[in-house]
Amino acid sequence: MTRQVKLSRIETALSELSYPVSRDEAASQFEDVTLTHANGELNLGDLVADTSAEEYESVEDLSTEIENVLPRDAVGEPYQSEGEG
């Protein structure tokens, strides 16, 4: 069964792992997770597999690596800053 996680709640899902964890192990653990974001959905396991680190020391490390491989439009409208207006 596929699980769904919102991008804003990704750290909750990532905290299910025991750290340190390898990229391969983390990708395997999230292969059935759909990450929903501002403009659609992505497979969380695939995103983890696309990161450059071989191992993650913490939730924050893995979260940062995932943010680096997300498409620009996953977090909302490009070039829009929050809090202005």
pLDDT profile of the chain (85 residues), mean per 10? 90 96 98 92 97 97 95 64 44
Q: Which residues contact 82 (CB under 8 A, 6 or more apart)?
A: none
DSSP readout, 29-85? HTTTEEEEETTEEEEHHHHHHTSS-SEESSHHHHHHHHHHHS-GGGGSSTTPPTT--
Q: Which domain holds residue 62?
A: 3-71
Q: CB neighbours (10 Å) of residue 3? A: 11
Question: What pTM does this model have?
Answer: 0.83
Task: Kindly state whether residue 82 falls inside one of the protein's structural domains.
Answer: no
Task: Kindly state whether residue 78 falls inside one of the protein's structural domains.
Answer: no
pLDDT at 65: 96
Task: Kindly state whether residue 84 falls inside one of the protein's structural domains.
Answer: no
Task: Kindly state whether residue 62 falls inside one of the protein's structural domains.
Answer: yes
pLDDT at 1: 58
Task: Kindly state whether residue 79 falls inside one of the protein's structural domains.
Answer: no
pLDDT at 57: 98
Do residues 36 and 58 make contact, with C-beta atoms less than 8 angstroms apart?
no
pLDDT at 82: 46
Task: Kindly state whether residue 11 falls inside one of the protein's structural domains.
Answer: yes
Task: Kindly state whether residue 61 falls inside one of the protein's structural domains.
Answer: yes
User: For the chain, how many structural domains are there in total?
Assistant: 1
Task: Kindly state whether residue 80 falls inside one of the protein's structural domains.
Answer: no
